[in-house]
């Protein structure tokens, strides 16, 4: 088993005078096999990003455990996290935000591999940058540009390819195509699919785009108000939804 999310919950407390508790994630469980593409769907505010942040160690669950290859991520020390984070990479909705705005594309491409000492010399960095650019169909002269000077689709392709330069076992895709127009979406999905095939990459694919999830994922979990209300193979969930919320979600998608 690659990832086991066991009964995790997360509460946020906000407000100073009138404190308010938001139960963002409640008793969520799911498992992912090596090389699997697992979809997480649900409406806005249902807790998808909170789950992502907990898997990445950016937030600590209030309860529960997250096992990655059998290691409990909620108990790792900072130094141990650096090792694990090489195996768990993430692609966000807004790729530009993941790049340092003052660094060139050349710097952005090679930053993760440099941080892990995979490329050391200037020549190695340049070679890697050119290789990565080629893989996403960008030309060498774009290496001198800054992140804001390339298109959203180009930036997303780069953020994927640079995350994959570390050869991770799990890629978390948090709404990776929702800001892009349809033709660019297709390019991103085909890039992800080919990496899944070539590298046996597992993906946790978070999206509210049911069409994409249906064509891309093998299993899916449906979230509503912080809880998983239903999960199963994409085929079963989409053809025979059991929970009222799933039926409602699918009705708007395929006139169920
Ligand atoms: N830092 C925070 N403080 C207080 N409440 C928060 C915080 N972050 C998220 N929440 C609340 O927790 C709930 C879950 O948020 P989360 O961002 O995980 O949902 P989501 O499914 O990713 O939503 P979206 O699709 O809109 O990004 C929401 O009600 C949100 O308002």
Output the residue whose Cα is nearest ligand 1's atom 30: 45
Q: Check residue 253 and give its pLDDT.
A: 76
Superfamily of domain 3-254: P-loop containing nucleotide triphosphate hydrolases (3.40.50.300)
Of all residues in the chain, the percent with pLDDT exceeding 70 is: 99
| DSSP three-state, residue 63 | strand
Tell whether pTM > 0.95: no
Q: What is the pLDDT of residues 16-55, one digit of tens each?
A: 788 889 999 999 999 999 999 999 999 889 999 999 999 9
* Domain definitions of the chain by residue range: 3-254
Q: Best mutation site among 8, 44, 48, 61 for ligand 1, i.e. most ligand atoms within 8 A of its Cβ?
A: 48
Q: What is the pLDDT of residues 81-119, one digit of tens each?
A: 988 999 999 998 887 778 888 899 989 889 999 999 999
Q: Is the model's pLDDT at 10 over the cut of 60?
A: yes
Which string of b and e fits 81-112 if b means at least 16 CB within 10 Å? eeebbbebbbbbbebbebbeeeebbbbbbbbb
Q: What is the pLDDT of residues 162-194, one digit of tens each?
A: 898 899 999 999 988 877 778 778 888 888 898
Output the residue whose Cα is nearest ligand 1's atom 6: 12
CA separation for the pair 251, 184 (Å, rounded) = 27
Please say whether the beta carbons of 252 and 72 come within 8 A: no
């Amino acid at each position: 088993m690659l990832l086991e999310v066991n009964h995790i919950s997360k509460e946020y407390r906000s407000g100073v005078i009138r404190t308010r508790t938001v139960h963002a994630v409640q008793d969520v469980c799911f498992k992912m096999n090596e090389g699997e593409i697992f979809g997480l769907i649900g409406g806005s505010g249902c807790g998808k990003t909170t789950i992502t942040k907990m898997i990445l160690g950016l937030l600590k669950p209030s309860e529960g455990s997250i096992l990655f290859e059998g290691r409990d991520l909620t108990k790792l020390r900072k130094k141990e996290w650096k090792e694990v984070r090489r195996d768990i990479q993430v692609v966000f909705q807004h790729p530009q935000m993941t790049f340092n705005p003052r660094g060139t594309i050349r710097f952005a491409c090679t930053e993760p591999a440099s941080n892990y000492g995979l490329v050391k010399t200037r020549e190695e960095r340049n070679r890697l940058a050119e290789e990565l650019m080629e893989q996403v169909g960008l030309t060498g002269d774009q290496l001198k540009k800054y992140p804001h000077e390339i298109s959203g689709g180009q930036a997303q392709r780069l953020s994927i390819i640079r995350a994959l330069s570390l050869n991770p076992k799990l890629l978390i895709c948090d709404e990776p195509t929702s800001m892009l127009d349809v033709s660019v979406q297709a390019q991103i999905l085909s890039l992800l699919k080919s990496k899944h095939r070539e590298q046996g990459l597992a993906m946790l694919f978070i999206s509210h785009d049911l069409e994409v999830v249906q064509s891309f994922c093998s299993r899916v979990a449906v979230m509503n108000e912080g809880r998983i209300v239903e999960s199963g193979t994409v085929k079963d969930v989409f053809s025979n939804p059991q929970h009222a919320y799933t039926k409602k979600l699918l009705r708007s998608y395929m006139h169920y």
